[in-house]
Amino acid sequence: MKRNLLVSALLLLGFVSLKCNAQVYLDPNAPVEDRVKDALSRMTVHEKVLIIHAQSGFTSAGVPRLGIRQLNMSDGPHGAREELDWNSWRPARWTNDSIVAFPSLTCLAATWNTDMSRIYGSAVSEEFAFRGKDMMLGPGVNINRVPLNGRNFEYMGEDPYLAGEMVVPYIQAVQKNGVATCIKHFFLNNQEMWRSDVNVNVSERAVEEIYLPAFEAAVKRAGTWSIMGSYNKWLDRHCCQNDSSLNSILKRRWGFDGVVVSDWGGTHSTEEAAFGGLDIEMGSAKSYNAYYLADDFEQMVKEGKVPMSILDDKAARVLRTMFRTCMNPRKIIGNIGSEAHYDACRNIGEEGIVLLKNEKSILPLQADNYRKILVVGDNATRNMSYGGGSSELKTRFDISPLDGLRKVYGDKIVYVQGYTTGRPASGSADGAGDDEQARLKTEALEAAKDADLVIFIGGMNKSRHQDCEGTDREGYELNYGQNDLITQLAKVQKNLIVVTFSGSPFATPWIKDVRAMLHCWYLGSMSGETLANVISGKVNPSGKLPVTFAKRQEDYPCFQYGPEGYPGIEKRVDDKVTHQVYYKEGIYVGYRHFNTNKVEPQFPFGFGLSYTTFRYGKASATANADGTWTVSVPVTNTGKVFGKEVVELYISDDECSVDRPAKELKGFTKLALSPGETKDATFTVTRRDLSFFDEATHAWKAEPGTFTAHVAASETDVRSTVTLELR
């Protein structure tokens, strides 16, 4: 009897200890938090330190002893970047890493269609997954404050509401596939000039109303699993190791439970990285054990200078990311270059192209009306997936604008280059003294005389100072003599259509001389087919501007305060040169400045034409029991072709104790309408939509009174208004 009891007790003990030793962290069905806790409890201090810094250019270590995989990262956000050498920036020259290039994020923003964000996120993450990537470095939601910023093309325009709404479905779609998004660059990374040390001086209100909301949406609404700190400083601290932005705002206020990844080389001190909220250090130019969060950090932990809880928190965040991605059995296998991805690429591009002018409806182009169509411009043949810095892509297949047009218009198309980019792209170098430039121009003008119609295809091209990481543009004008060439072409050819590619606005001094203008941002692998579909009318354009196109550079608010406003000034502190930039325009960024200060833009925010016309009816509003309002307006397609219309909702505060912008975007929807068809555009307005950030109480505040809801076709084209009352 006694013996039996003893055996049973031993068996029970064995079972309990087996249970305790059960590898919960490897159980795909266990809750992620249990897996994290279990894995952490099995790791040595050294192993915890190993997973919080890079082990190669784009990976951080796993825990091989425990079968925990490394994190594989890759740049995005427009496709998975080509493989680079393990330890350097050199291309690894693999033969299986060519992918589909999707349109630039600015183009996605120009669709104003959240379904497109979902389609984009889903397709691009399938490519990341198939390439074995766990984390996509992107998308970016920095606000387009400066039209010269070299990275605007990677972001989603000048308005925090638009960027926030567009980024949420993108993140959700990517992460549904088991790939983490790494939202960048948090935050105030609005220029490339002096990006690694410029300290941004900005009001609390502008931080809250302009620069944080899109990130907040990415964290709180979409639940991004990672975020990248930015190179610049805020409150004199680098944003990759900034207690105020990373701990106070991101982790404590917003409850972010994922990893903060440094920008490459954006970490500068062990102590600040330890206490300043950084979780994975990447890209520091030293051997991996000399990284700030490597040996020195481990030593500080061992000496008790950094509490173990800090190391555990960082390691837990990294493990959580692993269990969500590379250790997640539900992570998809994915695919590359499927028909569906090329379709997605084309559909997003088609909805993002913005028709800015269309005099006498010259577009869509009817082939029968023209015998000879001359295409002029370097961007007609250029592969614009290359260049631009870290978002550069190696593509499997690309169709250029020229080839796309040839597919539709065949032999009617004749091409001349018109200008060359093979020389310094500075404004001052335009024109005189360049034989090659002069020869190309003469050739284009001669050919233009002999054609029935000219399509000029230019803009920027992702080379240095032309939409490229690391450099800002040198001025607001297009380079390589393009303005002069367009002006001269218009003199010899009345049927002139201008097609531009770029991520930022630019001056269009020739706009009155040309018959039509289409702006394409960057369209990715399907560029040519996308453009040809819109030019030929197979697709009716429906994009609208996510940024204001000013007439002149000095019309933008950041240029109103001299160099202090942009690019900043040098200051000596403790014998060290620092750069300081002052966002003196405060909350008056983009259209908030143009509308409030009555500066007439060339093309306003939210503007874009269609091949059909839309009539807006009268807006109405109802107050709902939950304290929100429903605003609705009927919109009718009054033209002859199917079209999509972005209907925008702006709110203004009729009377307020503080200055507020004339109106601000708080809603948008895209309606698809057949000729004669009417649909209602419906918006929900919340109390927060009526609020401003009150610096006195450090909180959002809506003051009782009346507010006007403007239903509009663009920021300056209000079609109907209705009053909302807040008691």
Catalytic residues: 263
- Regarding 233 and contact with ligand BGC (CB under 6 A), the answer is no
Residue whose CB is less far from ligand BGC, 263 or 472: 263
Considering the complex, what minimum distance in angstroms separates the CB of residue 82 from ligand BGC?
12
Residue from 38, 75, 392, 529 touching ligand BGC (CB under 6 A): that is 75
Considering the complex, what minimum distance in angstroms separates the CB of residue 216 from ligand BGC?
20
Token digits of residue 160: 């925090």
Footprint (CB under 6 A) of ligand BGC, residues 163-202: 184
Residue from 155, 161, 186, 264 touching ligand BGC (CB under 6 A): that is 264
CA 416 vs CA 169, 432, 434: distances in Å:
42, 20, 18
Residue whose CB is less far from ligand BGC, 136 or 489: 136
Q: Which residues pair with 184 in a beta bridge?
A: 140
CA angle, residues 96, 101, 105, in degrees to nearest 5: 145
Footprint (CB under 6 A) of ligand BGC, residues 335-374: none
- Regarding 263 and contact with ligand BGC (CB under 6 A), the answer is yes
Q: Which residue is nearest to ligand BGC (CB)?
A: 390
Give 18's contacts (C-beta < 8 A, 6+ positions apart).
none
- Euclidean distance between CA atoms 685 and 674, whole angstroms: 28
Footprint (CB under 6 A) of ligand BGC, residues 115-154: 137
Residue whose CB is less far from ligand BGC, 218 or 447: 218
Q: Judge whether 665 and 606 are in contact, CB under 8 Å.
A: yes
Q: Where are the alpha helices (DSSP H) in 514-570?
A: 527-536
- Regarding 650 and contact with ligand BGC (CB under 6 A), the answer is no
CA 492 vs CA 77, 423, 489, 500, 553: distances in Å:
42, 27, 5, 20, 29
Cα 609 to its chain centre, rounded Å, is 23
Considering the complex, what minimum distance in angstroms separates the CB of residue 391 from ligand BGC?
8
The count of residues interacting with ligand BGC (CB under 6 A) is 6
- Euclidean distance between CA atoms 723 and 246, whole angstroms: 39
- Euclidean distance between CA atoms 230 and 218, whole angstroms: 16
What x-and-dash track marks residues 10-49 binding ligand BGC by CB under 6 A? ----------------------------------------
Which residue in 216, 258, 212, 265 sits closest to 234, CA to CA?
Answer: 212
- Euclidean distance between CA atoms 217 and 578, whole angstroms: 32
Considering the complex, what minimum distance in angstroms separates the CB of residue 228 from ligand BGC?
6
Considering the complex, what minimum distance in angstroms separates the CB of residue 62 from ligand BGC?
20
Residue whose CB is less far from ligand BGC, 91 or 705: 91
How many CB atoms are located within 10 Å of the residue 389 CB?
Answer: 17
Footprint (CB under 6 A) of ligand BGC, residues 554-613: none
HEC profile of 399-426: CCHHHHHHHHHHHHEEEECCCCCCCCCC
What pairing do the DSSP bridges indicate for beta strands 692-694 and 413-416? unpaired
Considering the complex, what minimum distance in angstroms separates the CB of residue 84 from ligand BGC?
9
What x-and-dash track marks residues 371-410 binding ligand BGC by CB under 6 A? -------------------x--------------------
Residue whose CB is less far from ligand BGC, 390 or 482: 390
| Enclosing H/E stretch for 162 | helix 160-176
Residue whose CB is less far from ligand BGC, 275 or 288: 288
Considering the complex, what minimum distance in angstroms separates the CB of residue 225 from ligand BGC?
16
Residue whose CB is less far from ligand BGC, 131 or 670: 131
| Residues forming the site for ligand BGC (CB under 6 A) | 75, 137, 184, 263-264, 390
